[in-house]
Structure 1
Amino acid sequence: MSDSLGVNLKLLCSHYRSIAEVCRKLGLNRAQFNRYLAGQSRPTAHNLKRICDFFGVESHELALPGEQFARLVGVRGNDKVSSASGDPLSTLFEPLREQSGDLSRYCGYYFEYANCMSVPGTILLSLVHVREENGTFLFERQERQVTSGGGHAEESARCRYLGAAFQLQDRLFLIDYESLTVNEMSQTILIPSFKSRITRLNGLKTGVSSGDRRTPACTRVVWEYLGTEINRISTYRQVMLYQPDDPRIDEDIRQRLAHAPVRDGLFEVE
């Protein structure tokens, strides 16, 4: 196998949204595949056959010089980058997509508990849905600032955030924007679960309050995993503001929001 392997593999991968997507479809280890791309390692005969079958090329073709291989697969020299490269924003985020870990195990629905930025002294319960779409991990967060309790509840604000999720090193990064008004963004950083079963994730969220002054704020958050399928109607009814002593907020959630240290090793996950 010639030194053209890495170059030719990169060209083939450019037809997909990310390297991570290629690795998932191939069933190959991401770190090992990166070594193939960098020319630091060569595939075993078994892995080489899997790669060739996946891309529809022959092993001897992967050894051709880069320009000759590009002509062979019908790609002109000025088309070696993906069509998305014409969009500066897509180009900016492409390294994040390529370096992000596989978030498949985190797909599903969550309750997000946070100290409300707009109504201090209350806990805001939101509904989050994380999903995979064409190799990219996206999420939606629904908020309603409805006061819990008796009487006639009035909905003072409803927000719908859309965003993208990435796993870099040992942290989950989630960036989103408010899609109904498009007047704010927020970022959440979570500590992933290292246990086989995901129950609750701890982290921090930064954003702004929904008041007129749009005050910047940061709060601890707890994500509680609900599963891949839920009853959306009954679940959404629970999305509202709660008083900290509300019996529907268990003691563990209150403690995590109020006292959980942020340092590694002390900021526990389940």
Structure 2
Amino acid sequence: MFQIIGIVLLFALVFGSYIISGGNMGVILHALPHEMMAIGGAGVASFLIANSLPVIKATVGNFGKVFGGPKWKAADYRDLLSLLFLLTKTMKSKGVIALESHIENPTESTIFTRFPKIMKDHFAIDFICDTLRMMTMNLEDPHQVEDAMEKQLEKHHHEAQQPSHALQTLADALPALGIVAAVLGVIKTMGSITEPPEVLGGMIGSALVGTFLGVFLAYGLVGPMATRMREVIDEEGSFYRIIQSVLVAHLHGNAAQISVEIGRGSVPSGAQPSFIELEEALSNIPNEA
């Protein structure tokens, strides 16, 4: 919502101030189609040259994050803590062998299937199951497990951030592409140097629209979108950090309740359940789970 408001304000205030100060929108509108063709076309072309197909697809898919925000809401964090509570409680009371059927086939697990939204995140499920498999193989050194989890998280976060880096690179290129379009306009103007001053003035004004558009798009739209995308992906990454916190706390010998409380401290402040809310969520889990 705030992103849409920001875009409306951006256009209203920039072009509104230009019109109020006596600027002629006709010059901009006349030059807009071919300047956008040059700048936008060159921007899209450079984006395609610089990135692989998976990164291109991910960048397009991640535009929803700019306006929709993180996919994980407060209820999802409670669900994650509840899932980890069930897993660590089972490990404490029945041993790691009791978890084998759950981690080998989570789609049929009575624990995992209680949380359908988390089940749709393949990395989260694989991350949990792979870590629990390490524990079943007697890899119980908390520091080794934490090290292995940290490497997985770093790899996943690096890959998740590639779309925002690609978009930021495009934003950095747009001012220079605007200059390219402006230089072409100046070349065109110089080829018509014998024209009257009023004609040359219009041609120079059209050329400068290219510089304006490059800077405007870079710092007004594309750059802020890249920043917003990066922030959302960072926040979503904390979801997986909670998994690491809880499972490592469990390996240090903490009770299931204490382990998830440690994980609760890693939840982003805006979505963090209170101690009472988490306690109520855990107490509402049926005994048969």
TM-score normalised by length of structure 2: 0.29
Comparing both structures, which one devotes a greater share of its residues to helix?
2
Comparing both structures, which one devotes a greater share of its residues to strand?
1
Higher relative contact order (CA 8 A, sep 6+): 2
